[in-house]
Structure 1
Amino acid sequence: MPVISATKDVDTLTMTFVAEFEATVERVWQIWADPRKLERWWGPPAWPATFERFEFEPGGQARYYMTGPDGTKAHGWWTITAIEAPHRLEFDDGFADENAEPIDPKDAMHDTVTIEAAGDRTRMTTVTSFSSVEQLERMVEIGVEEGMREAQNQIDELLAA
């Protein structure tokens, strides 16, 4: 299991996941930079993602949906705010409507991903920042914490291919 820790901090309004992989920094970076690779792990196993738009550059937009076991589609969006390849990615993300348009951009979360060598492994730290305790608690209630753990635990198989 690549996820070695998952912490929720109400004081700092963050949820942090730390995962380690037996792969180079550059290979781990590619699971973010390549939308076809991203689709293979973004979202829990029962909710695979499909990226319909993916502009991997600062200011770029991503639009995707995850398909549930019953065919239900949950749409989401990203706006990429910073890229420092192959070590750092930042983006705002939130829920989208069926046309892939943000439902409430003011309700966005901010994600910061750092990728660094950790001995002969690579450590990926993902920090999601929330705008309020209510937003953090709402995301936990809908299963974001468990879903992210399940999603990141799929990455080893992708990196082994």
Structure 2
Amino acid sequence: METSPAVRIEQTYPATPERVWQLWTTAEGIESWWAPDGFTVKVNKLDLRPGGELIYTMTATAPETVAFMQEAGMPLSTESRKTFVEVQAPSKLSYSSLADFIPGVDPYDFLTVVEIRPEGSGVRVTMTADAMHDEEWTQRLTAGRTNELANLGKLLQA
């Protein structure tokens, strides 16, 4: 199993740390931006505390996304589980994600750390995630998380 270094993505938004925290830690907030383009997210469970879980269903909805998922032999809807490790409102959130949706790969956990810091008249969000099991999936993770943070930015500017 060849692994890359951790993935690090940074974005600055015209918002307060409290607003970003609210969008990251409530069912309504998560459902409004969390999914990458071509998907929707429905939160099934949210227990925001260390050891608590976020369980949501991500569903491919755009025709090209549906076609990609079918071609890859992956289901159109997957239930995702994250277990919160650290919860420090409104500045730091970390969670372990269960990767149990990859054909031919045994399930494993990987950590994501989100830091939210005031910067100038806005807020800087730094997301650091463990690399996945191979370079292709690490690139997919990076592209997905970059897209999600862009969607968060669109929501904050609306």
Q: TM-score range by the shorter chain?
A: 0.7 to 0.9
**Letter in structure 1 aligned against 2:128:** V
| Aligned match of 2:22 | 30
Match of 1:155, SS state, is helix
Equivalence map 1:1-161=2 (5 Å): 10=4, 13-69=5-61, 70=66, 72-96=76-100, 104=107, 107-130=108-131, 135-140=133-138, 143-161=140-158
**Contact 2:99/2:110, CA 8 A, preserved across alignment:** no
Distance change in 2, residues 1:151/1:40 (3 Å): same
Q: Which residue of 2 aligns with 1:3?
A: none
**Please, which moves more after superposition, 83-92 or 70-79?**
70-79
Q: Which AA in structure 2 matches 1:47?
A: F
Relative to its length, the structure with more helix (as a share) is 2
Distance, in Å, in 2 between the alignment partners of 1:112 and 1:149 is 14
The question of whether the paired residues in 2 share the 8 Å contact of 1:37 and 1:158 is answered with no
Count, aligned residues = 140
Percentage identity across paired residues of the two chains: 23
**Cα RMSD (Å) of the superposition?**
2.1
| 1:83-119 CA distance string (max 9 Å, x none) | 111000011002357xxxxx73xx1110100000111
When normalised by structure 2's length, the TM-score is 0.80
